[in-house]
Structure 1
C-alpha cells in the first residue's frame, strides 16, 4: 500500500508539472498573436516621404529651350543660379539647396522671401553668366534651375550630375506656367495652385479697382543709355493692367531680342511725358550712380512731368527686373499701386 501511494503521488506531481508547462506555453502563444503595438505599426508603415514618393507619378517637363527632363520622384534639392528659381521655390514653400552669389542672394535675403536666412544658403560661386560647376557638383542637387540664353551651356557640364531646367518668362502668364511646372516636378502642385490663385486674384482686383488715370513707365539700365520696358515685356504685361501704359513695340525689328524692351532717349520720352517713372538701376562697377541721378545731369530730364512732380522712383531692381516669378510680380504690383494711387492703396 505504501508503494502504491508513492506511485499515485508521483503521478499527481508529474501531471501538475505538465499542466504548468502547458500553461506557460499557452501564455507565449497569446503574446505572439496579439495585434502589433502602435510603435510597431508605425515602424512597419511607409513614412510620409515614402508614401509621397510611391504616390508620385513620373513627370516629364519641357523647358523653354525645348529640352525635356523626367523625374520619377519629387525633386527635393534644387540649386538656383537665377532669381526666378528662388521666386518659385519661395512660392512652393521650399528652400534652395544652394544659390548663386551674383544677384540671386539679393532676392533670397529680401524680407518677402527668406530674409536673414537667405544669407546663409550655401553659395554657388563664379559669375552670373558662368556659375561654378564645381560648386554645383558639391551641392549635389536633384535639379538646377537657370535662365535660358544665359545658362544653356551648363547642360553639358551637368550631364550625369543633375538635370538642368531653364526658364525665361516674357509675360505674367508664362511666369504662372513656370511655377506650375516646378510645382509638378517637386510634387507640390497644391502649393503651386494656391500661389497662382493668390497672384491672379490680386491682379484681377487691381485691374478692377485701379483708375488707370496715371501714365506709368518702367526704364532700366546702368547709365544714360537706358531702355524702356514695353507692354510686351514681363513687367509691362502687369503694368498695362493697372495703369495707362502706352509703351509698345511697333515692329518686331524694334525689339530684336524679344525681351519686351527697346532703347530710348529723353527726347522720345518727352513726347509721351509719363506721370510716374519707375527706374531699375543696375550697377556693374562700384560707385555707379543710379540712372535717375545720371539722367538728372541732362536739361531735358528736368522738363519731364514726372521729374517736376517728384514722381521718379528708384525701385528694387533684383525684384522688379530679375525676380520674374509670381511673388516678385506681386511685390512689384503692390509697390506700383501704392505710388500710382496713394489715396486708394
Structure 2
C-alpha cells in the first residue's frame, strides 16, 4: 500500500510540473506579439509598409534633344550622347571645351589638334583613327566607332549624312566668326547634355577677349595669311580669325569685291604688290603642306624681291604659326590660343 501511495504522489507531482511548463510557453507566445526590441527586424507587415519609393534604382528618363545645324537640317538625338566621332578639328575643339574625349578622329599627322598640349597632349595620339581622307572619311571606320553623334564640316562632309543613316546623326558646322563659334559650342553642349560646361567655356573666352580689347593699344597693323605656296590668301576682318584680330589690333583687311569671296569665308587671294600698300607691322603665316619637303610659305615668298620690302620682314616680324590651331580649330579654345599667341607677339611688353 505504501509503495502505491508514493507512486501516485510522484505521478501527481510530474503532472503539476508539466502544467507549469505549458503555462510558461503560452506566456512567451503572447509576448512575441509585442513591439520588437532594438536590433530585431520588423514584421512582414511593417516591412511592406516601409517599401522603397518607385524611383529607387530606376534609370533617369531622357528627353530627346533637337537642334538645327548650319545646313538647315534638323538633327535629333534620342539617347544620351556619350561617344562623338570627329571628322573635323572643330569637333575636337568643342569636345575639349566640354570636357569630353572623341570616340574617334579623322584628321591625323601634322593637321590634328588633338595631340596639342592645350588639348589632349600625348593621349590625343591614341584616339581611334578614322581612315580615308579629310574629304572622304571612311564610313566603315565610323560604323566601327559606334558613335552617338558625328560632327563634320559643312560644304565638305554633307554627303556623309546618307551613309550614316541608321548609324548616328550627323551635325555639320562651319563658324565664320567668333560669335558663330560660341553658338556652335552652345548647341553641341545642348546635344551632349553639357550646357554648364559650354556656358563656362563661353565665359572664359569672352572674358579673355574683353580683357584684351581693353588692354591692347591696337597700334600694330597685323595680318594673317595662309596657303601652301606663293599663291597665298589673306584672312580679312570678316574671316573667323579676323573677327578676333580686329578686336586686338589694327586690322584693315576687308573683302572689297564679293566675287573674290564667293563662299563668304572672309578670305581673299592676295599679292605682294597689294600687301605693300597697307604694309603690315606683323604678319602671321599659316603654312599648309600637302607633300613632303614643301617649304613654308614665308620661305617661298622670301625668294621674291618684293617680300624683303615689307615692314614686317625688315623688322623680323614674320611669324609662322600652328596652322592646325590657327586655321583648322575653328572653336573657342583654338581662338583663345590664337589670341594668346598673337598678343604676346604684338605687345611683348604687356604680354
Regarding TM over 0.5, the answer is: yes
**In structure 2, the residue corresponding to 1:107 is in which secondary structure?**
coil
Q: 1:34: how far off?
A: 6.9
Question: What is the correspondence of 1:257-296 to structure 2 with a 5 Å cutoff?
Answer: 257-296=263-302
Contact between 2:89 and 2:107, CA under 8 Å: does it hold in 1?
no
Map 1:114-263 onto structure 2 (within 5 A): 114-263=120-269
Residue from 332, 337, 341 that aligns with 2:343: 337
Question: Equivalent residue of 1:313, what SS?
Answer: strand
Distance change in 2, residues 1:303/1:29 (3 Å)? closer
Q: Write the distance in 2 (CA, Å) between the matches of 1:284 and 1:105.
A: 10
SS at match of 1:89: helix
CA distance in 1, matches of 2:111, 2:233: 25
Question: Aligned-pair distance for 1:176?
Answer: 0.1
- Distance in structure 1 (CA, Å) of the matches to 2:104 and 2:136: 15
Task: Identify the match of residue 318 of structure 2 among 294, 309, 312.
Answer: 312
Q: Verify: 1:13 aligned to 2:21, yes or no.
A: yes
Pairing partner for 1:101 from 83, 107, 113:
107
User: Residue in 1 aligned with 2:86?
Assistant: 80
- Does residue 300 of the first structure (1) align with residue 306 of the second (2)? yes
SS in 2 for 1:321: helix
Q: Cα 1:259–1:25, aligned 2, differ >3 Å: closer, same or farther?
A: same
Counterpart Cα distance in 1 of 2:33 and 2:130: 65
Change (3 A) 1:161 1:105: farther
Q: Does the 8 Å CA contact 2:69/2:173 hold for their aligned counterparts?
A: yes
CA deviations 1:32-69 (Å, max 9, x no partner) are: 6579xxxx98xx8448xx44xx3x54321000011111
1:250 is displaced (CA, Å) by 1.7
Stretches of structure 1 lacking an aligned partner (at least 5 in a row)? none
Structure 1 position 70 matched with structure 2 position 76? yes
Contact 1:84 1:324 (C-alpha < 8 Å) held by counterparts: yes
Change (3 A) 1:13 1:193: same
Q: Is residue 229–residue 236 contact of structure 1 (8 Å, CA) maintained in 2?
A: yes
Aligned equivalents of 2:229, 2:32: Cα separation in 1: 92
Q: CA deviation at 1:20?
A: 5.0
Q: Superposition pairs for residues 24-39 of structure 1, below 5 Å?
A: 30=42, 33=46
Shift of the 343–135 alpha-carbon distance from structure 1 to 2, 3 Å rule, reads: same
* Aligned match of 2:5: none
Q: CA deviation at 1:15?
A: 3.9
- When residues 265 and 73 of structure 1 are mapped into structure 2, their CA distance, relative to the original with a 3 A threshold, is same
- Aligned partner of residue 141 in structure 1, secondary structure: coil
Shift of 1:5: 3.7
Cα distance, 1:11 vs structure 2? 3.0
Distance 1:291 1:128 in 2: 22
State the TM-score, normalized to the length of structure 2. Answer: 0.89
Is the Cα–Cα contact under 8 Å of residues 179 and 325 in structure 1 kept in the other structure? yes
Alignment CA distance shift 1:145-1:103 (3 Å): farther
In the alignment, is the contact (CA less than 8 A) between 1:90 and 1:113 conserved in 2?
yes
Cα contact 1:84–1:322 (8 A) shared by 2: yes
Tell me how many residue pairs correspond in the alignment: 337
Aligned-residue offset at 1:12? 2.9
CA RMSD between the two structures: 2.5
